[in-house]
Amino acid sequence: MPVQQTIQQTGHLIRFRDRGSRVGVFKFHGSLTDSQRKQVLNYSKHQLDRVIIFATNVAETGITIPDCRYVVDSGLAQRVKWNPELGCQELRTAFATRSSLDQRKGRAGRTASGICVRLYSEQDYKNSQQASDDNCDQDVAQTLLRLLEAEEKGRPIELPQPIPAAARSEAIGTLMELGALDKRMHVTKEGRFMLALGIGIRLSAFLLACNKAGCLWSGTIIAAMVSVFQGSGVTLLPSRATLGHTASNGKATSTAVDLGAIGGRRPIYKYIHASGDHLTLLKMFNAYTKTKTPTTWCNDTGIQAEKMRAVELSLDATRERLVRLGYSMRDNATKYNANGGLERSLLRALCVGFFDQLGVLSESFKPWRGVTRLLPVAKVGPRSEALSRFAAEVGGVGSACATAPEDGIGIRLNPRSVVYKSQEVAEENNEEPGEGYIVVFDSQMMVDSNPVPSAQLASYLSTDDLQALNPE
């Protein structure tokens, strides 16, 4: 089946007439924990007569389901593709590639004879794409940058499939705006840094800005948190229910989050930053590393322990690369205080990496009322010009923000984003919430159930943040 949501819905609909038979119904997808995966793969321990497993394409390779005799293939898969027109990733349900269809067929009959029932025609199979076009499935900026570097070194690399012209043009504009390429299309010092770091062009540009502002270590933590699930559809943030409620037994899930009842509920405000998701992730990781019982902490906050361990591995790898490149992995208070403090420095650094992913809310601190994204900067002018123009358009708290920029497009913010609770958190902690009109976002995807582009992470900015950025 193509998506986790469909699997969940179908699993709840299963009913059996023969009450005496022992039939197990399992769900298998990429968001399962290690223990949940083992429960599915070791179903024989449950002494069942028959097992039905609803799975996404995560079951195509890498695992063998014991004694699988029948496979029912929908022929669909959810695929991530890069949209150069919008400069974002699209997560869409499409017909699977022929290689994937063949892999699915091979799930049955590995230990005994099996049958594959395909819910599509033979002609559909013959017309299916042989394999995924990887050059079209991702932001090609880093690939293009590596190709240009190899060409400069006299060791050109030839791809099996050339990068499409539209994607190449978009990538060149982005690389120039980020300082990775100069006007002669030569790879700059910053561009070589981005390639050496290997975490993506935008996050690398973010860390370069963090280094200048004296907040490289904190920025590296945020980058590790983001890179683990960027573009994967997996979220590290707890659900809004976890943020706003206690455990089902009515008791606080942990003394660590017992911060006072509000209307009979105990929100875990301790880990939420009023600016939004990025600094919330930083606070959560810092809390995670200080706890003596990380698994319990993850259960209390609703975050998968496996994902936090993946963040630790990503952080260690990025830190090692930065140290090899000669960077000091400590925040510099003198530098970041001169730039408005640690928090403002981090948010302004985000603008450097995600300069063309800014949005304006139609109503302060109410993202559900509508968010409009400024079109990619490459289409309207240099980064400094676009940021200044954007700040002027939404500048001033009040009615000036009621009208979205004319050249913008509508976006949604992830329902799990803590920007929905920012004002509430600020009031609870007696913090100055700021303007609440401008957001910077990343990991943008488009989902079938709602064709409006959706951003996974977002944080509030002020017009001062945009105007304080160095035009270079």
The total of other beta-carbon atoms located within 10 Å of residue 416's CB is 19
Q: What length does the chain have?
A: 472
Q: State the angle between helix axes of 216-229 and 342-353 in degrees (0 to 180), rounded to the nearest 10.
A: 50
C-alpha dist (Å) from residue 226 to 63, 273, 281, 348, 429:
27, 16, 9, 17, 26
Dihedral sign (CA 467, 374, 164, 456): positive
Along the 472 residues of the chain, how does pLDDT read in single tens digits? 877 777 777 767 776 655 667 888 888 877 776 777 777 777 777 777 788 888 887 766 656 777 788 889 988 887 777 666 566 666 778 888 888 888 888 777 666 778 889 999 989 888 887 655 554 556 688 889 999 999 999 898 888 778 878 778 888 888 998 889 998 999 999 999 999 998 889 899 999 999 999 999 999 999 999 888 765 555 566 655 555 543 333 333 332 223 333 333 333 567 888 898 999 899 989 999 999 998 888 877 777 788 889 899 999 999 999 999 999 999 999 999 998 899 999 999 998 888 878 888 888 888 888 888 775 544 444 555 555 555 555 443 333 333 444 556 777 887 778 888 888 878 777 777 678 888 888 766 666 656 667 788 899 988 888 777 644 4
Return the residue matching tokens 């050109």: 156
- Count the alpha carbons within 13 Å of 296 in the hemisphere toward its beta carbon: 9
**What type of residue is 327?**
Y
Q: List all residues 6 or more positions away from 102 whose beta carbon is below 8 Å from its beta carbon.
A: none
Q: What is the 3-state secondary structure (H, E, C) of the chain?
A: CCCHHHHHHHHHHCCCCCCCCCEEEEEECCCCCHHHHHHHHCHHHHCCCEEEEEECHHHCCCCCCCCCCEEEECCEEEEEEEECCCCEEEEEEEECCHHHHHHHHCCCCCCCCCEEEECCCHHHHHHCCCCCCHHHCCCCHHHHHHHHHHHHCCCCCCCCCCCCHHHHHHHHHHHHHCCCECCCCCECHHHHHHHHHCCCHHHHHHHHHHHHHCCHHHHHHHHHHHHHHCCCCCCCCCCHHHHHCCCCCCCCCCHHHCCCCECCECCCHHHCECCEHHHHHHHHHHHHHHCCCHHHHHHHHCCCHHHHHHHHHHHHHHHHHHHHCCCCCCCCHHHHHHCCCHHHHHHHHHHHHCCCCEEEECCCCCHHHCEEEECCHHHCCCHHHHHHHHHHHHCCCCHHHCCCCCCEEEEEECCCCHHHHHHHHHHHCCCCCCCCCEEEEEEEEEECCEEEEEEEEEEEECHHHHHHCCCC
Cβ atoms 429, 270 nearer than 8 A? no
Residue type, 329: M
- Residue 432 CB partners (closer than 8 Å, separation 6+): 426
Give me the helix-helix angle, 277-290 and 216-229, nearest 10°: 100
**What pLDDT, on a 0 to 100 scale, did the predictor assign at position 216?**
96
Q: What is the pLDDT, as a whole number, of residue 256? A: 28
Segment 265-279, tens digit of pLDDT = 333 567 888 898 999
- Residue 64 structure tokens: 């063998």
Say what the pLDDT of residue 246 is: 35
pLDDT score at 261 = 32
Confidence at residue 336, expressed as pLDDT on a 0 to 100 scale: 94
Angle between helices 189-197 and 201-213 (to 10 degrees): 110
Q: CA–CA separation, 10 vs 282, rounded Å? A: 37
- In the chain, the domains with their CATH numbers are 4-132 (3.40.50.300), 141-194 (no CATH)
- Residue type present at position 209: A
At 402 the pLDDT is 37
